[in-house]
Amino acid sequence: MSGDLLPRSAERIVLRRLSVDDLADFQAYRCDPDVARYQGWEATSDSEARAFLDATGKGRLLQAGEWCQIGIAARADAALIGDIGICLSKDETEAEIGFSLNRQHQGKGLAGDAVRAAIQMVFEETPAHRVIGITDTRNLPSIRLLERLGFRKIDTLQSIFQGEACTEYVFALTRRQTAP
Ligand SMILES: CC(C)(COP(=O)(O)OP(=O)(O)OC[C@H]1O[C@@H](n2cnc3c(N)ncnc32)[C@H](O)[C@@H]1OP(=O)(O)O)[C@@H](O)C(=O)NCCC(=O)NCCS
């Protein structure tokens, strides 16, 4: 794996490390119930969020069996507009991806640009042969994003989420599908 994985630029966004300086921008979308609705994480206090940003900003990226979190910044002013979580499996054969974007920046294709860049990083920097995304069947923007990037539905899971029975789709994108 190469030393400096980030920053990584796309046309309109930059993937970069999170830092404590992002606290206000991070809390702006992490405390938005619409953004948090189908997420595995919950909104936290400012002090918990600061500790998370500090730890994750210094943490190692793309380590087997561990989640890492990276920031999505607007290219124009470097302000944080969302984040992406990536978990490389213990055997490094696949990576799971999750994503969140501030509502003010949704509907412009920016999350798609960011997730595409993150997938490219996974395939360049790890041996994973596929990336998966797991999403609630009611989360239509997330399903649309995954399908737009070429993910295919490979499984349907019955789960319990926040005490409530729900159905989730598992989407996958293989390395071969992204090959030029
Ligand atoms: C999932 C989420 C990131 C999708 O954000 P998004 O902005 O809709 O996604 P994209 O970046 O792919 O943008 C696509 C939308 O922008 C529009 N768009 C405008 N300009 C565009 C462009 N240049 N390129 C692509 N799409 C563009 C598309 O038409 C599309 O709108 P539509 O969905 O109404 O058809 C966002 O809804 C979110 O943060 N949700 C809460 C967190 C969550 O549930 N995450 C998933 C759990 S894993």
Distance 98 CA to ligand 1 centre (A): 13
Q: What is the CATH number of the domain that holds 94?
A: 3.40.630.30
CB 170 within 8 A of CB 134: yes
CB 30 within 8 A of CB 44: yes
What would the two tokens of residue 46 be?
Answer: 């400012």
Distance 91 CA to ligand 1 centre (A): 31
Give pLDDT tens digits for 6-16: 999 999 999 99
Q: Kindly give the number of the ligand 1 atom that is closest to the alpha carbon of 142.
A: 1
Distance 101 CA to ligand 1 centre (A): 8
Query: Residue 23: inside a domain, yes or no?
Result: yes
Q: What is the largest CA-CA distance in the chain?
A: 45
Give pLDDT tens digits for 86-97: 999 999 999 999
Query: Residue 2: inside a domain, yes or no?
Result: no
Distance 43 CA to ligand 1 centre (A): 21
* Protein residue with least CA distance to atom 23, ligand 1: 109
> How many domains, in total, are found in the chain?
1
CB 171 within 8 A of CB 132: yes
Range of the domain at 29: 8-178
Give pLDDT tens digits for 96-107: 999 999 999 999
Provide Rg for the chain, Cα atoms: 16
CB 155 within 8 A of CB 123: no
What does 76-145 look like in DSSP terms, one character per residue?
TT--EEEEEEEEE-TTSSEEEEEEEE-GGGTTSSHHHHHHHHHHHHHHHHS--SEEEEEEETT-HHHHHH
Query: Residue 159: inside a domain, yes or no?
Result: yes
Could you give the CA distance from residue 9 to residue 24 in angstroms, rounded to a whole number?
A: 23
Using a pLDDT cut of 70, give the percent of the chain over it: 98
Query: Residue 21: inside a domain, yes or no?
Result: yes
Give pLDDT tens digits for 15-53: 999 999 999 999 999 999 999 999 988 899 999 999 999
Residue closest to 73 by CA, chosen among 125, 12, 146, 32: 12
Q: What is the pTM of this model?
A: 0.96
Could you give the CA distance from residue 180 to residue 178 in angstroms, rounded to a whole number?
A: 6
- Burial zone of 72 (CB within 10 Å; 0-12 exposed, 13-18 middle, 19+ buried): buried
Distance 146 CA to ligand 1 centre (A): 9
Q: Which residues line the pocket of ligand 1, CB cutoff 6 A? A: 35, 38-39, 98-101, 106-112, 133, 135, 139, 141-142, 144-145, 148
Query: Residue 100: inside a domain, yes or no?
Result: yes
Query: Residue 3: inside a domain, yes or no?
Result: no
Query: Residue 1: inside a domain, yes or no?
Result: no
Beta partners for residue 64, in sequence order: 88
Query: Residue 41: inside a domain, yes or no?
Result: yes
Residue 2 has pLDDT above 50, yes or no: no
